[in-house]
Amino acid sequence: MTVKAQQRSALLNILLITVLVVWMVMAAFPFLWTLWGSFKVEGDFFSKANWANSLTGTLTKTETGSAFTGMGYHGAWVKEAFGIAAINTVIVCLFVVTISLTFGTLGGYALSRSTYRYTFWFLIIALIFRAMPPVTLVSGYLPVFFKWNMWGHLPTAILVLVAINQPFTLWMLHSFFKNIPKDLDESAMVDGCNRFQAFRYVIVPVMWPGVITTGLFSFLLAYNDFAVTAMILSKENQTMVPKIAGFLGSTQVKGNVMFAVAAVVSVTAPLFVMIMVFQRQIVSGLTAGAVKG
Amino acid sequence: MKHKTFFWFVLPSSVAMLLFIFVPIISVVVQSLHVEHEQVIISVENCGPFGCTQATTIDQEATKKLLEAEPLGRFSGFDTYADRNHLAVEDVSQAWDKADNWRDFGSQILNLPFYKAMSFTLAYTFIVTPLVLIVGFIIAVAVNGAVKAIRGPIIFFSLLPMMVTPLVGSLIIFWMVDARGVLGSMLQVLAGDPELSVKASTPLTWVMLMFYGVWHSAPFAFIVYYAGLQTVNQDTLESAMIDGANRWEQIRYVIIPHLLPLTTFIALMQLMDNFRVFEPIVSFAASAHATSLSWSIYNDLGGEVRQLSSAAATSVLTIIGVAILLSPVLIRTWRDFSRK
Amino acid sequence: MFLKKMTVAAAVVLMSSQAYAACGISEGNVSIIGNEFPAIHTVANAAAACAGDGVEVKSNLTADHKEIHVAGMQGNPAEYSSAIIANSTLVALMNEDVVRPLDDLLAKHGEGIPKSNLITVDGKVMAVAFMANAQTLAYRKDVLAEAGVEVPTTYEEMLAAAKVIRDKGLMENPLGGAYKSGWNLAEEFVNMYIGHGGEFFKPGSAEPAINNEAGIATLEMLKALAEYMNPDYLTHDSNATNAEMEAGNVALMNMWGSRMGNLMDDEGAEEQVYSNIVVGGPLTVAGGSIPASTLWWDGWTVAKNVSDADAEATFLAMKNGISPDILTEETMGQAVWMIEGYTPAPVNDGVFAAIKAGTKPYPMLPYQGLLHTALGNNIADFLLGSESAEQSLADAEAAYVAAAKEKGFL
């Protein structure tokens, strides 16, 4: 790295910095704008009169008396009990990530170690499974879930999300395990371990970086899912995204969009902490893992 | 690895996929080959708080008998696939016979819902996928060149487009590009046209949807590439430098080949996701200008009267489309696999 | 709105002790599915007040109710014993035969439910309505006065008024309307087509009959109106249209009665704007006497696939849900209630004017929903100017025919 840095010309430096600045603005500007706007009233944030109202807060001043208001946050968290949805989301994400990774590491490991042709077809079929649009899958589930009294419960949503997520998890972990030298577990087996013991005692300790990266993507899938959770969770078990959708209103009735904006902003903070904690592992995970595809 | 061990290792994920993906796919295929029974319709008088009107309703007694005889509905073979709302075989052949030239034929074909959806879906897939790869790669190289201390926050902000709930994220972007929103106003100034409205024009709506697609997916490519860059073999890089390779040549001959397998992985996932583009069309209320296959499915299932067979047929067509799209990549993977 | 909901919930809890005795349910399970908005919350909460020894009342109110309720009522026993629906949605439930006729329950417990609220199909009562809605005119009285035009009563007058307002430079795009491609646009077509005296189907059959002069006149009128709208009108749902109105960009628009309260309150707009918004009746078109609008009701049903005891409990709980007791100061403004003791506020003038003017209810035909979807997907092409009115209507008919064949209607 240091060698490269020394050799970098001034022109190249400027180019790199420009790319970074442009990208940072593009990636962060909408979010920062939202963060600022979440302390305004709806008439300002989604102002059809003049976008600058969002900066000055004209209506916010007339309606609340000050240029900033915490109404959106108060509405979402206190009046609408967004906290319950947040807890449900934490439960769903926690279980989806854990179960996906447990199933995925076992399957991915086997797929990377078996040399038979069926592993290739297994992976291809998993990929084709992923092509199925989730909307269709969900409409197929509904009659069955209602019949067997499975509809509305968190475990059902968790199972469905785990299943939908399996193809991606398998592909990613399979390529990760391919990069862990076969000698490691094979020498353990020579020493008298069976396959599972070799996996448990030799592979598990070195697999964390790849698992954490895959886990990040599983997490984002469960966390941002709308198609599945909106349709198969009952009201009291609702997760955050369908709850936010409920704030948006419908044709005949006005919603409360600022509740949604405030809710979205406030759930991004824990994500920041999460990325800060895991960023080193994310990078090293992919380093060791997906490199060879 | 022994067959038996393999079996036990893949059992949990196979069972999950079998129950929640494979079985539904089978039922969707079966559904797409059937249509509902002929409904026995009777004229009735409907009354309510606003007076009485003559209307019709379904004779449930008569329909029930038909349903008991054949619970799946009438077998229709590939009729649903061939009808006007899907492959429109008849209309295409008519258009072929009648059209005077290619242009005329093309416009008639694009008036059919399936081909209209297909045109946007394919354009979106083939424009967004390469752009995501390129943008993701450029950002990864730039971040890799940044000082270590600021990389953490940069990674967080770079991931934001992927992390903010699309439901609300796209709502905010949609407002921003409004003619009176902050980005829309900026575009008007840049274009020197105070009347410019992105949402009112079909080409600009397409550009907006694709721009959103790249913005939303570039972080995925970025994070994968960035990680890949950490493992570039420093010895190879240094020896290339000693051989007098300039920076561009280093990237061209060392870094890009190193990242090629990763590119396959990203391309595979992105091709598939972009082919199923759906959320931006709904959030940006763009269906007057652009539709996609997944949007058609959503539209069939979301109406007052659900069209299950139609949605099933479109879903099967989507799977086939994805399979065709991925086949070059898959053939490559198969060769790699066989070589081992 | 949401603040009110909480107070209502509290009020309902307080009332529940008396209400329990009034419900008269000894045992049973009640489970309600419906859309999520304050008026329906009020009804569901009042129904929940019947819960007690051996009586369980649950409700699932969500914007996605339409995707769930058929599946949720098809099982036996059904997950939901009652669905709260509107005219168009009742048809979807009846098509699948999941709701039961209420005649015997009405004979037994129907006392206090006004006859006029009963929705009958083929002589059988299928639902009980409790609130009404319709799209009517909303306008800015200050802008009309400044332009020197009368309040329009027809769409032709609306166009003329719009021209004056634009020519005088008062507003650039003085008209508003929920023309978002899809359901909203099709709804505008349905309104305008009924105003032109059109029939959607050949009598007594499911054959479409919209590609005619009335259909073309309807599309021409929609396009003429759109000329005076914000160029983005094909993306504007009622939220965006109302935002335009509140921002002071729009002087005249056709809007849902249920949304008027938000326009006239002091949130979201400058005083100059909200204090001058007035609600008018529905407009007519092309010299017709039937308003170019449709009447909607919301009501409740009882599921077919539940035990008779549960059905009875559901009936009683829902009856309690729409009893006059639910009308308090907070709930009064939530909707145009069709409940005894309801006193309308000025915001509801439009819906009442619509009922008085003989506005037709939204058609309750088993295949109307399919035509609605087909219209929503095809007529935007005409408004965008990429094809003729005849072609758009022919496309809509063709798309409908393909869908109706698949559903067994043709």
Q: Where are the domains of chain C?
A: 2-132+297-343, 134-294+351-406
B253 and B215 part of one domain: yes
Q: Which CATH architecture has domain A76-292?
A: Orthogonal Bundle (1.10)
Dist. CA C134–CA C181, nearest whole Å: 20
pLDDT band at residue A291, thresholds of 50, 70 and 90? very low
C100 in B contact zone (CB under 8 Å): no
Mutate which: A145, A228, A252, vs C, most C CBs within 10 A: A252
Distance CA B284, CA B207 (A): 12
Residue B16 falls inside a structural domain: no
C-alpha–C-alpha distance, residues C106 and A237, integer Å:
35
Residues of chain A contacting B25 with CB distance shorter than 8 Å: 129, 132
- B314 and B202 within one domain: yes
Could you report the predicted ipTM of this complex, rounded to two decimals?
A: 0.90
Amino acid at C409: F
Report if residue B58 sits inside a domain.
no
Does C340 contact B at CB distance below 8 Å? no
Report chain A residues whose CB lies below 8 A from the CB of B337: 117, 120
By CA distance, what is A118's nearest residue in B? B3
Whether residues B98 and B136 share a domain: the answer is: no
Q: Which residues of B touch C237 (CB under 8 A)?
A: 285
Domain count, chain B: 2
Same domain, B103 and B128: no
Interface test with C, best of B304, B307, B309 (most C CBs within 10 A): B304
Same domain, B214 and B94: no
Instruction: Answer yes or no: do B88 and B209 share one domain.
Output: no
Please indicate whether, in this complex, the C-beta atoms of A104 and B13 are within 8 angstroms of each other: yes
Q: What is the pLDDT of residues C228-251, one digit of tens each?
A: 999 999 999 998 899 999 999 999
Question: Which pLDDT does position A282 carry in this prediction?
Answer: 66
- Check whether residue B245 and residue B268 sit in a common domain: yes
* A67 shares contact with chain B (CB less than 8 Å): no
Contact C256 A251 (CB under 8 A): yes
Q: Residue A206: pLDDT band by 50, 70, 90 thresholds? A: confident
**Residue A292 scores a pLDDT above 70:** no
Closest CB from A110, A117, A163 relative to B16: A163
Asked whether the beta carbons of residue B12 and residue A175 sit closer than 8 angstroms, the reply is no
- Using a CB-CB distance cutoff of 8 angstroms, which residues of chain C are in contact with residue B179? 230-232
Shared-domain flag, residues B259 and B150: yes
Nearest to C2 among A41, A80, A251 (CB): A80
Q: Are residues B297 and B325 in the same domain?
A: yes
User: Bridge-partner residues for C361, per DSSP?
Assistant: C295
**8 Å CB contact of A131 and B155:** no
Instruction: Tell me the residue type at A24.
Output: M
The domain limits of chain A are 1-27, 38-69, 76-292
Whole-number pLDDT of residue C154 = 96
Pairs from C164-172 (Cβ < 8 Å, separation ≥ 24): C165/C251, C166/C228, C170/C143, C170/C146, C170/C251, C171/C143, C171/C249, C171/C250, C171/C251, C172/C249
pLDDT digits (tens, 9 = 90+) for A61-85: 888 888 888 889 998 898 888 999 9
Using the Cβ of C97 and the Cβ atoms of chain B, whether some distance falls under 8 Å is answered with yes
Chains touching A (at least 3 CB pairs under 8 A) are: B, C
Q: B281 vs chain A: nearest CA distance in angstroms?
A: 15
A-contacting residues in C 259-288 (Cβ below 8 Å): 259, 262, 266-271
| CATH entry, C2-132+297-343, from 3.20.20.100, 3.40.50.720, 3.40.190.10, 3.30.300.30 | 3.40.190.10
Q: Locate C8 and state its tokens.
A: 């209502």
Q: Nearest Cα to A100, choosing from B13, B163, B220? A: B13
CB B20 within 8 A of CB A164: yes
Residues of A with CB under 8 A from a CB of C: 41-43, 46-49, 59, 62-63, 75, 79-80, 139, 142-143, 146-147, 149, 151-152, 230-231, 234-235, 238, 242, 245-246, 248-257, 259
Domain extent for B84: 80-111
Of chain B residues 98-127, which have a CB less than 8 A from chain A? none
Q: What is the pLDDT of residue A47?
A: 79
Whether the domain at C2-132+297-343 and the domain at C134-294+351-406 fall into the same CATH topology: yes
Query: Per the CB < 8 Å rule, is A291 touching B227?
Result: yes
Q: Which of A4, A12, A127 sits opposite B326 (nearest CB)?
A: A127
Query: Is A22 near chain B, with CB under 8 Å?
Result: no
Q: Is the pLDDT of residue A250 over 60?
A: yes
Residues of A in contact with C233 (CB under 8 A): none
For A283, which of B172, B227, B333 is closest by C-beta distance? B227
Q: Do B228 and A275 touch (CB under 8 A)?
A: no
The domain covering C134-294+351-406 belongs, at the CATH homologous superfamily level, to Periplasmic binding protein-like II (3.40.190.10)
pLDDT tens by residue, chain B, 340 residues: 789 999 999 999 999 999 999 999 999 999 999 998 888 888 888 888 888 888 888 888 888 888 888 888 889 989 999 999 999 999 999 999 888 888 889 989 999 999 999 999 999 999 999 999 999 999 998 988 888 778 878 888 888 888 887 777 787 888 888 888 889 889 999 988 888 889 999 999 999 999 999 999 999 999 888 878 877 777 788 888 888 878 788 888 888 888 887 888 889 889 999 999 988 898 889 999 999 999 999 999 888 888 999 999 999 999 999 999 999 888 887 887 777 5
Give the C-alpha distances (Å, rounded to integers) separating B35 from A136, B81, C272, C406, C408.
17, 11, 57, 5, 7
B157 and B98 in a common domain: no
Q: What is d(CA B33, CA C197) in angstroms, rounded to the nearest whole number?
A: 39
* Residue C7 pLDDT exceeds 50: no
> What residues pair up with A42 in beta bridges, in sequence order?
none
Q: From CA C321, how far away is CA C130, in angstroms rounded?
A: 10
Contact A235/C61, CB-based, under 8 Å? yes
Look at residue B44 and tell me if it is in a domain: no
> How far apart, in whole angstroms, are the C-alpha atoms of residue C110 and residue C102?
9
Residue B194 neighbours by CB under 8 Å, 6+ apart: B188
Using the Cβ of C407 and the Cβ atoms of chain B, whether some distance falls under 8 Å is answered with: yes
